[in-house]
Chain A
């Protein structure tokens, strides 16, 4: 069975400091992996996706993630947090052989001034 585990329910950083949101997955060979962001009272929006090309994936707003097959991880990073990054972030997996996209429980990012 496919699953996604987001290791932190909340992360708090100061503006200008690095962001690390952690995600581990369990899936079949060659899954597609995604990070989505959700601002209050909005739908989810794609930040970036991995689909078996380069293992370091760059997304919007300065975010990037690295696919590490040996660690079954897909952590999201950003060098310098902005106040506007405060939101909920979801890691998701779409396994080979199926349409289902399975979401993690989410990590709420707080950014302090």
Chain B
């Protein structure tokens, strides 16, 4: 079975440019999460979706960040405009809940490494 698929794996861009990261969750999983990983802050939950609906976006750093999930098999995380401090590895993960309102095991993609110059 295919796992969580993220693209691009690496992105180098200049400050001020728009960045779009993409994620295809595992088929049948109804929860999707975007995390950001940096040396300084570790793994931070940015936003998560349940059944394509954003449930909690309180981790999104500021209005420059936006995320969408137009259908069950695709999600995007967009940064516009990008800044050097956005440089990080962005992970997408999907899961099935083990019980109502409780997350199960997270299945992670291999990440998108973003460098903003």
Using CB atoms and an 8 Å cutoff, list the residues of chain A in contact with chain B.
32, 34, 36, 41-46, 49, 51, 90, 94, 96-106
Contact = CB atoms under 8 A, between A and B. Distances in A.
B102 A99 contact: yes
Interface string B7-41: 00000000000000000000000010101000000
B108 A99 contact: no
B102 A94 contact: yes
A46 B106 contact: yes
B109 A100 contact: no
Contacts of B110: 41-43
A34 B109 contact: no
B34 to A, nearest CB: 12
Contacts of B106: 34, 36, 44, 46, 101
Contacts of B43: 90, 103, 106
Given A99-B48, A99-B97, A43 B91 contact: yes
A94 B95 CA distance: 12
Interface in B61-103: 91, 93, 97-98, 101-103
